[in-house]
Amino acid sequence: MANKLKLGIPKGSLQDATLDLFKRAGWEIYASGRSYFPTINDPEIECMLVRAQEMARYVETGALDAGLTGNDWILENNSDVERVTSLTYSKASRQKVKWVLAVPENSTFQKPEDLAGKVIATELVEYTKRYFAEKNIPVKVEFSWGATEVKPPMLCDAIVEVTETGSSLRANRLRIIETLMESETQLIANKASYTDEWKKKKIGNLSMMLNGAIAALSQVGLMLNVPKANLDAVLNVLPALSSPTVSHLRDSDWVAVNTILEEAVVREVIPRLKAAGGSGIVEYPLSKVVL
């Protein structure tokens, strides 16, 4: 096939969450065994598993047309790529992750300036070097191959580490003294590929459907029947994503209302809808919400 999009899928901690997101967006990606080339139910896409830390480099050089990686690794590599869209999901939550400067909880360090002349361990080496250089704080930044949280105070004085909930830092008796950046997954594209009309459209479709799948994660659909006399009272209860759909029923005294709500508020809204005159209230899950 002449038209083929080379797409990088992040290998490692983000892999399962990414495959699940693609599944909800409509693409089945099958990664099995030790193969770095998973299959996908789309003949126009060719997938490759690549570590998120390296993804931006391969997209920048054109080895891949597009890929998913964190904003942190784009900045770490100073990669010149097209940022198509942000996709806020991660291995443990639907929140942005943070890269933080952390020290032993019983240390005297209170701010970055206190670490002048000290050793910082991190996987985010180049960004951390630039961060301290911009503040004119002389430190030694060492690359950490993993288990970074256990290194202070014996192997280093402080760490720069990524966290979603902070639980691992607390478990290792570390205290955050500064947040260096927040990061989330980005769909990125090679700049030359993005000038190709077909590839740009294909990447745009990916962006739309992936964002739609993410938007649906926190939303639910709600439908109910309402006497026309109570319609205004019911509509005043609904904090709708957009104007609810109101449809006529066979019984001319009744209408059907269909809307989308944040899942977090449904437990409060349904009793109020019932009290306002709604009946036959049905909550249902959504797979995609495309605005």
Q: Is residue 273 part of a domain?
A: yes
Question: Are 101 and 112 in contact, with CB atoms under 8 Å apart?
Answer: yes
∠ CA 200-184-285, nearest 5°, is: 80
225 shares a domain with 210: no
116 shares a domain with 11: no
226 shares a domain with 203: no
Question: Are 188 and 75 in contact, with CB atoms under 8 Å apart?
Answer: no
Question: How far is it, in rounded angstroms, from Cα 92 to Cα 187?
Answer: 19
Q: Give me the CATH number covering residue 254.
A: 3.30.70.120
Q: What is the pLDDT of residue 14?
A: 86
∠ CA 7-288-81, nearest 5°, is: 30
149 shares a domain with 269: no
Tokens of 266: 């449904």
Q: Kindly report the number of other CB atoms within 10 A of residue 175's CB atom.
A: 17
**What's 244's DSSP letter?**
P
Question: Residue holding tokens 């077909």?
Answer: 198
271 shares a domain with 166: no
Q: Give me the CATH number covering residue 43.
A: 3.40.190.10
Question: How far is it, in rounded angstroms, from Cα 34 to Cα 49?
Answer: 10
276 shares a domain with 257: yes
115 shares a domain with 176: yes
Q: What is the pLDDT of residue 150?
A: 94
Tokens of 94: 């639907």
Smallest Cα–Cα separation from 233: which of 263, 262, 199, 274?
A: 274
Q: Is residue 291 part of a domain?
A: no
Domain count, the chain: 3
Q: How do the pLDDT tens digits run along the chain, 291 residues long?
A: 468 999 999 998 889 999 999 999 999 999 887 789 999 999 999 999 999 999 999 999 999 999 999 999 999 999 999 999 999 886 555 678 899 999 999 999 999 999 999 999 999 999 999 999 999 999 999 999 989 999 999 999 999 999 988 888 999 999 999 999 999 999 999 999 999 999 999 999 999 999 999 989 888 999 999 999 999 999 999 875 557 999 999 999 999 999 999 888 999 999 999 999 999 999 999 988 887
Q: What is the pLDDT of residue 96?
A: 86
Boundary residue ending a domain (216, 235, 263): 216
229 shares a domain with 161: no
Q: Is residue 165 part of a domain?
A: yes
Question: How far is it, in rounded angstroms, from Cα 208 to Cα 25?
Answer: 9
Range of the domain at 75: 5-91+185-216
Q: What is the pLDDT of residue 256?
A: 96
227 shares a domain with 160: no
Q: Render the burial of 50-86: b for 16+ CB within 10 Å, e for the rest.
A: bbbbbbbbbbbeeebbbbbbbbbbbbbbebebbebbe
Q: What is the pLDDT of residue 92?
A: 57
Tokens of 233: 């009272």
Smallest Cα–Cα separation from 213: which of 25, 69, 84?
A: 25
Cis peptide before 152 (omega within 30 of 0): no
240 shares a domain with 125: no
Q: Render the burial of 237-274: b for 16+ CB within 10 Å, e for the rest.
A: bbeeeeebeeeeeeeeebbebebbbeeeeeeebbeebe
123 shares a domain with 142: yes
Boundary residue ending a domain (161, 183, 205): 183
Give me the phi and psi of 180, to 5 degrees please: -80, -40
Q: Is residue 290 part of a domain?
A: no
Tokens of 210: 């992936």
- Per DSSP, the residues of 70-113 read EHHHHHHHT---EEEEEE---SS-SS-EEEEEEEETTSS--SGG
199 shares a domain with 86: yes
